[in-house]
């Protein structure tokens, strides 16, 4: 589904009701626009079923709690809203975006406790996040920006403010002809891509950064489960950048990315190997089962 996201046919669920897509608007003094008081979820539906839907709905509420913004809809209400959006738009395979934010109200400063918490859910058709990288392997830049310490921001929340440096990193990567960028954390360890977790393979064993200062993705958790079901060793640990030279394979995971092979990161090269292909196929089978 191409074109301007503000100018489309269809329905968006907003604060308890379906409204025409073009009318799903907010005021210019919406608190989230000025102070990033917003959390969101990205989800994919396959054959009419959103994969791990309830986990996403619960995480949305948990993220709201983490940034002192309790969301006034239950998991069951969010689940029904997502179903209504899919049905209203006649979608079966789709990307679903749920977002909650502090709206416009009595407060227009850093404090926003008197402003209402609002929520919207939209869905649309969306293909491969990294284009043809699923077959040839994505090319990644190395970002100059680092994931911050969890002492500076609730890094376990899927909060809008955490993505500013991701946007900047991805823009810089795209300017170099790359699909994405690898980010280190505040200590210099390998962290993640701008919107996806990362895995490496060495001698048949899998290594992935410990998510102690970035989001432990639902797809990441799913893939670790698939690997362990196959009796493949998975090491969740701190990884130094210089270790990348010794890894043979690499892939990204995320709701949008699904399982996407990586062919190169800066000066390092990786093969799109058998384990990478097998895990990508297993994930595809699982989400459509």
Tens digit of pLDDT for each residue in 184-196? Answer: 999 999 999 999 9
Give the tens place of pLDDT for each residue, 79-102: 999 999 999 999 999 999 999 999
Enter the tokens of residue 197: 């977790």
Are residues 201 and 244 in contact, defined by beta-carbon separation less than 8 angstroms? no
Give the tens place of pLDDT for each residue, 227-267: 999 999 999 999 999 999 999 999 999 999 999 999 999 99
3-class DSSP string for 54-105: HHHHHHHHHHHHHCCCCCCCCHHHHHHHHHHHHHHCCCCCEEEEEEEEECCC
Which secondary structure element, helix H or strand E, spans residue 200, and what is its range?
A: strand 197-202
- Higher local confidence (pLDDT), 165 or 133: 165
Query: What distance in Å separates the CA atoms of residue 244 and residue 1, rounded to the nearest whole number?
Result: 36
Q: Which of 169, 164, 167, 163 is nearest to 182 (CA)?
A: 169
- Give the domains, in start order, of the chain with CATH numbers: 11-124 (3.30.470.10), 133-287 (3.20.10.10)
Secondary structure percentages of the chain, helix, strand, coil, to 5: 30, 30, 40
Q: Is 158 a catalytic site residue?
A: yes
* C-alpha 127 chain-centroid distance: 15
Dihedral angle of Cα 260, 204, 274, 270, to the nearest 10 degrees: 50
* pLDDT tops 90 at residue 135: no
Going by their DSSP bridges, the two strands 180-185 and 138-147 should be labelled as parallel
Phi, psi of 9 (to 5 degrees): -80, 160
Q: Considering the candidates 82, 134, 158, 170, report the single residue annotated as catalytic.
A: 158
Are residues 85 and 123 in contact, defined by beta-carbon separation less than 8 angstroms? yes
* pLDDT tops 90 at residue 133: no
């Amino acid at each position: 589904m191409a074109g301007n996201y503000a100018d489309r046919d269809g329905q968006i669920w907003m604060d308890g009701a379906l409204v025409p897509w073009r009318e799903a608007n907010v005021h210019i003094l919406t608190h989230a626009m000025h102070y990033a008081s917003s959390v969101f979820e990205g989800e994919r539906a396959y054959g009419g079923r959103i994969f791990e839907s309830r986990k996403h709905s619960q995480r949305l509420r948990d993220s709201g709690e983490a940034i002192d913004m309790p969301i006034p809809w239950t998991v069951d209400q969010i689940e029904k809203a997502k179903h209504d959006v899919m049905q209203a738009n006649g979608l079966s395979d789709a990307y679903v975006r749920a977002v909650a934010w502090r709206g416009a109200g009595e407060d227009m400063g850093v404090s926003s406790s008197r402003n209402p918490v609002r929520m919207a859910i939209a869905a649309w058709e969306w293909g491969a996040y990294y284009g043809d990288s699923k077959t040839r392997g994505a090319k990644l830049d190395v970002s100059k920006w680092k994931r911050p310490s969890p002492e500076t921001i609730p890094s376990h929340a899927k909060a809008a403010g955490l993505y500013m440096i991701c946007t900047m990193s991805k823009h810089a990567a795209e300017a170099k002809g790359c699909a994405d960028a690898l980010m280190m954390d505040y200590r210099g360890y390998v962290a993640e891509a701008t919107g996806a977790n990362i895995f490496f393979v060495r001698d048949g064993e899998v290594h992935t950064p410990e998510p102690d200062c970035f989001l432990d993705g639902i797809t990441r958790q799913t893939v670790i489960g698939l690997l362990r079901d196959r009796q493949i060793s998975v090491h969740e640990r701190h990884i130094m950048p210089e270790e990348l030279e010794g890894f043979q394979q690499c892939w990204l995971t995320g709701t949008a990315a699904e399982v996407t092979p990586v062919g190169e990161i800066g000066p390092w090269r990786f093969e799109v190997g058998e384990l990478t292909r097998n895990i990508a196929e297993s994930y595809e089978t699982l989400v459509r089962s």
